Structure 1
Amino acid sequence: MRPIYRWIWSLGAAFGLLALTACDPQRIAELEEDVSTEVDVRDRFGEPENIWQEPDGSRTFEYNRQPAGHQNYMITIGPNGKMTALRQVVAPHMFGQVRAGMSEQEVRRMLGKPAKRTTYERKQETDWDWRYVDPPTTEMLFTVTFGPDGRVLRTGRSMVQRDGP
């Protein structure tokens, strides 16, 4: 692909993702717990990235907005087919629940797909990063570091570094 076309395509993709995440508040406002159905959720949000089966027979749909966005949504559909919960999970109150020793799957179920995964071969560690906004407008990263056994070693938060002047 020629560079100018690649740039135009990238710009179009970025605007498309921005439009997708900008519509989230409207989509959320159109849904109501214990009233909206699975069909309503899929009509508003589309196909989920992942579907987690819960012990009580409900299912949790994972909708990711990473890496360009700052949210991940978990929407629970009860055994009766009605939406029972809609949560934005990339948030400080959720980060505090990540504990040393948790597995990668436990963290993924809690926070959704990370924006970025980085493996450090020599240290035998892997970092998962999620982007979020610390109100009012500070862009941040929440990082979970896993050891070679796929278990949480530590977590951390940092500001997103911007390139340029």
Structure 2
Amino acid sequence: MNTPRWSAPAARALRATGLACTLGVLAALLAGCDPQRISELEEGSSTEADVRSRFGEPERVWDEPGGARTFEYNRQPAGHQNYMITIGPDGRMSALRQVLAPHNFEQIVPGMAMDDVRRRLGKPMKAMTYERKGETAWDWRWNDGGNQPMIFTVYFDGQGRVLRSGSALEIREGR
């Protein structure tokens, strides 16, 4: 029986595709575990160690006034959530929020700084630069109340200030 021989570039492409598929499946599985992880945490009694044991290392840690810290747990690009978990100065969880929701999108207004948007919504799924227009767009995947997949996009000017934002249905290939 003859074993197919692949050229080096084709073999690398196959390995890269396999790795990307594996990472995508892993991200989807991890995001699917979030409801279980959340149910195991309780505001006011769960500790920072409890949060880290359930969710792992945060994508980013934001310092808050009074000594609190907010941990950013990103579920993009495969998921439809980003979580912000606040640990009070006493080391206990004081808030757990899924931030990709219309009431948070409404707070994104023209003139807002890019860092402020990141702090409110977490790391985007994708960032694209449109050099001719002098704009950058950030996208987040989210679900509306009817479980419809959506994309929320924020456009920034060359100084990193919000120009406009909005949501649209997520169109997936093959549908």
Would the TM-score normalized by the shorter structure come out above 0.5?
yes
Match of 1:5 among 10, 15, 19: 15
1:58 and 1:100 map into 2 onto residues whose CA distance is: 28
Residue among 105, 112, 115 paired with 1:105? 115
Normalization by structure 2: what TM-score?
0.90
Q: 1:78 aligns with which of 72, 88, 91?
A: 88
Number of the residue aligned with 1:95: 105
Out of 37, 47, 56, the position equivalent to 1:37 is 47
Aligned residues with identical type, % of pairs: 58
SS at match of 2:65: coil
Equivalent-residue separation in structure 2 for 1:85 and 1:121 (angstroms): 39
1:12 is displaced (CA, Å) by: 2.0
| Structure 1: 5+ residue stretches without partners | none
Q: What is aligned with 1:158?
A: 168
| 1:49 aligned to which of 56, 59, 69 | 59
Letter in 2 for 1:52: W
What SS class does the counterpart of residue 154 from structure 1 fall into? strand
Counterpart for residue 146 of structure 1: 156
Which is greater in Rg?
A: 2
Q: Distance in 1 between matches of 2:45 and 2:73?
A: 20
Deviation at 1:5, TM superposition (A): 3.4
Runs of at least 5 residues in structure 2 that lack an aligned partner in the other structure: 1-8
**What is the aligned length?**
165
The alpha-carbon deviation at position 62 of structure 1 amounts to 0.3
Q: TM-score, normalized by length of structure 1?
A: 0.95
| SS in structure 2 of the partner of residue 41 of structure 1 | helix
Distance 2:18 2:111 in 1: 44
Greater shift in the superposed pair: 11-20 or 123-132: 11-20
Q: 2:126 aligns with which of 116, 122, 125?
A: 116
From 23, 32, 57, the equivalent of 1:22 is 32
